[in-house]
Structure 1
Amino acid sequence: MSYGNKIIRVIKGRRPKIVVIGGGTGLPVILNSLRDKNAAITAIVTVADDGGSSGAIRDYINVVPPGDIRNVLVSLSDLPADFLNIFQYRFNSKDSFFAGHAIGNLIIAALSEMEDNIFDAVQKLSKMMKVDGQVFPASNEPLTLNAKFQDGTTLSGETEITHARNKVERVWITNTQDSTQPPKAVAPVLKAILDADVVVLGPGSLFTSILPNLMIPNLGDAVRQTKAEIIYNCNIMTQMGETEHFTDADHVRVLDRHLGGDFVDTVLVNTAPVPDNYLDHQKYDEYLVQVKHDFEGLRDLGCRVISDDFLDLHDHGVFHNGEKVANEIVNLALQRDGRRRR
């Protein structure tokens, strides 16, 4: 069922507070649609990415990887498109350092050095880029993602884990600079979660984009303690090694298991079929098949299900329809009346 597309613009004289937690390419799609809904948006972005330009910069300079943060800043920025295109531009030079780097990644790395931390750097850059909302790195220090696979082996590093194409059993994170120090989120991140009307998880890779945030101990505690409605925006496709053969209920079970209890209140589920032979499996080689539905399993987990055609097909890829998902999220925020079960 679905609440439809009607949006109520006012809730007790204030903008609804929406926190979105994740990373990867799916997060900016939802944020870009939410920014037009008269909501107070906070994006909490993973800092455990170690691939591509972000990983190379992380190797050269001891900073939090900037790639996901860059994309989120652009999705919420009010700057003209020409400026944003420059910020997103990747060098195609064959120079050993600049090749493949996005200009925005270099700017974020430079500001991190100038401000002596990534959090203050992103806040300054948010003002410069006229960001409508708040963009918070999940942690102020670089984090390393670790995984144990179902065959008992372990690996460290988001890229290594993804490329292993092995079935993940559980993940955890450690402080990259000092593994003896527990990772932590800064106070504004925790306050945003505790003050929110809704907290949205995803879309994004379950084990490598969503859970790295929730595995930060005090951030995970805040998600468990908040009175906000917890919404899981379920992935449309399964991913090799991560969620092979998963149903939508299996995704929620993994989240619950990692956080130690049933904490997801509402699940957004796409019910539109992906046409046969549409997906370009060479371009999107991590995707396998469409996530199967288990509505009874979701209800047994205490979840309310909102199902609809959330599908957006283009460039032979499978994506969420940002506008439809954003409408449902805002409706839930506006209709929130202390429903939180836990």
Structure 2
Amino acid sequence: MIRRKSHRAKIVVIGGGTGLPVVLRELHKQKAEVTAVVTVADDGGSSGVIRDYINVVPPGDIRNVLVALSDLPEKFKKIFQYRFDSTDQFFSGHAIGNLIIAALAEMDQDGIFNAVQELAEMMQVDGHVYPAANQALTLHAHFSDGTEMAGESEISQANKTIEKVWVTTEDGTKPRARQEVIDAIMEADQIVMGPGSLFTSILPNLMIENVGQAVCQTKAEVIYICNIMTQKGETERFSDAQHVEVLNRHLGQNFIDTVLVNTQPVPNDYLDRQKYDEYLYQVKYDFKALRAQGCKVISDDFLLLRDQGVFHDGQKVVTELMRLAGQKRF
């Protein structure tokens, strides 16, 4: 059963990739009323294979979000997350949860949205998990050299400077989010974007016209959690202010209210650059340029070093989010 408690802070988290569940797990622990709006433009890995074969919304990000907000015992969540190894040739690389989501989407002729709501109830999700659109979207990019490319994984591997991204549907209609997504954004106390890939995890959601409009019109505080490291093929040598400038430019106005920036240095030679080959340098700080865009800047030690990788400390980030949400409400 999905529980709704109106006295809790209403927080909408928009994004995709591995950064989204980090924030959601800690918000879940804090009993916030969470709505996750999840990208449907992924075309890599198991999600991409399933999308190509049975033409459903890529399930991987949705699967991870469902688990992050689930109240099921850990053993059941581990089953849902289990990924077959390479010796299982037919199922190799697929997570059980991806297959379940794909099956439910195929059973429901109205698209992925209703299927995810049914699964959220089965998984005892505390909150809401909303696909950003009810059908799979294709991400497009225009590069600084004048060329264009389609496909999230191809764009991120092109090693070109991205100037603009947008999304399309397979049937050529204008992408639209369900009304539930728009209502959640408009009724929220706080909108959180990130951490996550700027062009391929966050912007695909905002490029859905009614989602972008709602984020600009909402009275909620709009918060961007800036990435700690720059990303190959997307944000090479970007400062924190350049991340925000890209977001503002895509929506045509300065809509970010607050930016969370990690200021703790990443130790030299800590990062395993073979394992985490998409990360390049630590994001540079430009607080003056952030404030020039109308942003309040919150800088602190949000760094978590683990397994020779660089991550956001979800607990520290959410402590700050809850503090800001309390200020907004009271």
What TM-score comes out, normalization by structure 1 length? 0.93
Instruction: Report the AA paired with residue 68 of structure 2.
Output: S
Give the superposition deviation at 1:38: 2.2
Does 2:200 match 1:219? Answer: no
Instruction: Report the AA paired with residue 118 of structure 2.
Output: K
Structure-2 separation of matches of 1:298 and 1:234: 11
Does 2:43 match 1:57? Answer: no
Select 1:28's aligned residue among 21, 32, 41: 21
SS class of match (1:276): coil
Cα offsets for 1:194-217 (capped at 9, x unmatched)? 000000010000000000000000
Does 2:116 match 1:86? Answer: no
* Maintained 8 Å contact 2:189/2:329: no
SS class of match (1:164): coil
Structure-2 separation of matches of 1:152 and 1:287: 25
Select 1:185's aligned residue among 173, 177, 180: 177
Select 2:192's aligned residue among 200, 221, 224: 200
Structure-2 separation of matches of 1:130 and 1:337: 27
Structure-2 separation of matches of 1:278 and 1:299: 31
Give the superposition deviation at 1:257: 0.1
Instruction: Tell me the equivalent position of 2:3.
Output: none
Select 2:164's aligned residue among 163, 170, 193: 170
Give the superposition deviation at 1:95: 5.0
Instruction: Report the AA paired with residue 203 of structure 1.
Output: P
SS class of match (2:29): coil
Instruction: Tell me the equivalent position of 2:149.
Output: 155
Does 2:245 match 1:253? Answer: yes
Cα offsets for 1:132-188 (capped at 9, x unmatched)? 11000000011000001111111100010111121111100000x212x00010000
Select 1:273's aligned residue among 265, 273, 288: 265
Cα offsets for 1:232-280 (capped at 9, x unmatched)? 0000000112111110000000000000000000000000000000001
Give the superposition deviation at 1:36: 1.3
Select 2:324's aligned residue among 332, 338, 341: 332
Deviating beyond 3 angstroms after TM superposition, the runs of 4 or more aligned structure 1 residues are 93-97
Structure-2 separation of matches of 1:241 and 1:150: 12
Structure-1 separation of matches of 2:325 and 2:185: 13
Structure-2 separation of matches of 1:324 and 1:92: 34
Structure-1 separation of matches of 2:230 and 2:142: 19
Structure-2 separation of matches of 1:41 and 1:95: 37
Give the superposition deviation at 1:97: 3.6
Does 2:13 match 1:14? Answer: no
Give the superposition deviation at 1:93: 4.5
Give the structure, 1 or 2, with the largest relative contact order (CA under 8 Å, sep 6 or more). 1
Aligned residue pairs, count? 325
Instruction: Tell me the equivalent position of 1:233.
Output: 225
Q: Percent identity?
A: 67
Instruction: Report the AA paired with residue 25 of structure 2.
Output: N
Instruction: Tell me the equivalent position of 1:109.
Output: 102
Give the superposition deviation at 1:334: 1.4
Select 1:142's aligned residue among 119, 136, 154: 136
Structure-1 separation of matches of 2:112 and 2:295: 36
What TM-score comes out, normalization by structure 2 length? 0.96
Instruction: Report the AA paired with residue 177 of structure 2.
Output: A
Structure-1 separation of matches of 2:65 and 2:35: 10
Instruction: Report the AA paired with residue 166 of structure 2.
Output: W
Root-mean-square deviation (Å): 1.3
SS class of match (1:335): helix
5+ long unaligned stretches in structure 1: 1-12
Structure-2 separation of matches of 1:318 and 1:80: 28
5+ long unaligned stretches in structure 2: 1-5
